[in-house]
Each structure stands twice: as C-alpha cells, then as structure tokens.
Structure 1
Amino acid sequence: MVLHIINFYLGACIASFISVIVQKDGLKWRRSYCLSCKQTLSWYELLPIFSFLLQKGSCRHCKNKIPSFLIFIELIGGIAFFKTDWYSKSGLIEFFLCLLLLMMSIFDYYYQEISFSIFIFSFLIVIIKVLLFEKVAITAISFFSIFIMSSTLGILVLLKKLGLADLFFYLIISFFYSEYFANLVFLFASLAVLTLYPKLKAQKQTHLSLPFIPFLFFSLSFLKLLI
C-alpha cells in the first residue's frame, strides 16, 4: 500500500511537470513561475495537489486562479501510475506507454495538436510489448473487432467529429491492452463528455471543439485502477 501511495504522488509530480513544460510552450529551462504575474514560485508552491489545495486554487502573489485542469491532470496522473509494477519488465514498459499517453492528453488539452513523434514512440512500445511479452497472437475475432471499431472512428474522423489522434489512441490501447478494454475506455470517455454538455450549453459554448484525449486518458486511468 505504501508503494501505491508513492506511485500515486510520483505520477502526480510527473503530470504536473509535463503540464508546466507544455504551458511554457518549450523546453527552455528556468525556474517555475506564475503564468499570470510571472513571479518565480517557491518550492512549497510547487507541491502537486497540496499547493493547489493550500492556496485555494489561486496564485499566492497575484491571486489569479490557477487553471483547474492542473489539479485534474495531477490527480489523473497519480491514478494512472498507482499500480505501476517497477519490478517487472511489462510494468516498466506500461509505465512508458502511460507517460506518452499522458503527454498526448496535455498537448491535446492546451493546443489540440500532438506531435507525430509521440505516436511513433507509442506504437514502438506496443510493438515491443507484443513481440517480447505476448505469448498468444491476437485472435481473428479480436482483429475483426478492432477493424470494425477503427473503421467507425475513421468515418467520424472524415466527418470531422473526431480527430485522427483519437483514432491512433484507440489503436494503441487496443493492441497494448485489448480491444474490449479499449472499447470500454471510449465508452466511459464518451459518457464523461456527455455529462459536460449541459454545462457548456448553459454557457453557450456548444460550438467549442472539445479535446477528447484527456477524457480518454481519464477513462483509461480509472479503468486500470478498477480492473
């Protein structure tokens, strides 16, 4: 249980770090600062989850609100790595895949654009996992199921209802986990999006393009925790 708690906070730290780097739009090294007032932040203002709660979601200097997405992605990052098995090769390779999926989620949220290199590395990890750790080849039924779902998502991509990145996300988790698990991830992610629709409609924001991958990663993380 102690290891799980350590895993959770490590995941939150990783998610927080990646989110901050992405918001700065580059890997230029400098101490973390408030994006509103540019004030350099102290170490106790950088503790994932705790700093957000202690400061009541606001910058200690300018009192501007800290984006709620930050604590959301920290919590989901913690959940995603909660069960990481550091003592097995399969656990380590899953860690690196989840790390890439987390990066996809953060880039999709802020820019709705993801570097193709992230997908290439993700597919390479899937190939390594299938070649080195899978003893049974994918069945014809599983392949057919993936083909049907991918074709459906492909049609939605052509109709501009989904992004190509969403289709790639599905293929990655289908071959890494299973098509059944991937379908569950998409189902729960879709339900999560639908729950936001009334709020967006009330705010007259129904024509906004919602980033879907953060919802997919949210669903993936919770299903991993439950299964």
Structure 2
Amino acid sequence: MTASQDMLFDTEQLAREAVAATPWEGRCPLRYTTDFYTPAELDAALARWNAQYGNFGSYPFSHMWHPAIASKPLLLEHHQLHLYHADGRCDLHLYGTASPGRDQANHDHTQQPLPGSTMSQAICTSCRWHHIDPDESAAVEAWHDHAMPGWRSLPVMPNKIRVTRHGPHGTKKIAEWVQAHYPPHWLIDGAPILTERNPKGTRAVPGYSPLGGYDITAPAAKAT
C-alpha cells in the first residue's frame, strides 16, 4: 500500500469513527428487523451503517433492508409497492473472516436471532402495511392481496401468448390479449397479468404487465 493510499485509508477511518461517536437518532435500528418502517427510514438506517462501517460487504454483514435490485416501486393512487431485500444469513464461511471491530460484533445475534435465509419485504407506505417472506414472489403476491383483492381470479394468459414478448410485436399481442380477456374494471394502471409458466421460472416480474404491473405465475403453474 502506498503512502497516499495509507493516508486515504486513515482519513476514511477517521470519518467512520466520527460518525460512530454520534448517536444514531433514526427510528429504524441498525440491524435486521421485522418491524414496519418506511422506505425512507430503512434507507436512512442503511446509509448510517455504511457511513459508520463502510460500504464493502454492507448487505451481508449488516443484515439490513435495502431496495430490491431491478424492481422499481409500483406507485398507484391509493397504494404503493416498495420491494426490499435483506440477507438474514450469518455464515463466516460464506463471507470470509470477520474484521476486528467491524464485523465480529455483527455476528452475535443472540439477542436478535436472524431468520437464516435471504428475505423479501413488500411495503405499502400509505397503509403502513408490510409483509416479509423468504420467497420474493410470495411477498409480491401478499401485496396484491392487500392492494388488489380479486386479482387471483383474473384470466390466465397462455404461455404461447406470454412467450411472444421477445418476438416481433410481442408486447402488442400481450396487450391485445389483456384487452380482450380482462373484465373492464381490471383495465387499470398497475394491474398484474397471470401467466402460465415453466415450473422452474415462476418469479413475479415487475413491469411485464401491459398495464404497468407485475407478471405473476398462475397458481396452477406453481403447483405443476
């Protein structure tokens, strides 16, 4: 390590120590939690953890909630879906040796046990509602039960229609199918589509509905 790198490391360490000396006054704890907090509160808590301990490895070592990658919030008139993830595992063999002072304390979970798996959380801020599940799609479906009751009875799009998405005019064919088969009161912003799937590809995909909502695997396809 060069002298300039040493100086940069020392400066960053001093900055983290200064943050650590300042009491955390946010509502959300700096650890894994199952209590309800708004996305802004969760983001602020993770930002504080990063400022105090550094960004490297912050997701697995902090076990804190962070926005799901590639899942933009679904914002409707009366409800919102914010999808968050947390790593609820604690495995030194998976993440390497804990660093003195930073990681060792974060591996003592006797007071607040971890779930032992990666977790997903769906949040509706306006209702102060949330649902936590190890299955991301299950969390998304729980939100739809909360915000769009009756969605499970929607017509199921055949796989032969769904797979046209990646071909010429595919999205147009999907939109036409929805217009032809959906009840009029379900032709609303954010409504999902139910689709036949291969049993190995059942993730709820954001933004794949022509109405702006999720593409969710039909229950029959899951049971296959």
* Same fold, TM-score > 0.5, yes or no: no
Structure number with higher helix proportion? 1
1 or 2 for the larger relative contact order (CA 8 Å, sep ≥6)? 1
- The TM-score bracket by the shorter chain reads under 0.3
TM-score by length of 2: 0.24
TM-score by length of 1: 0.24
Structure number with higher strand proportion? 2
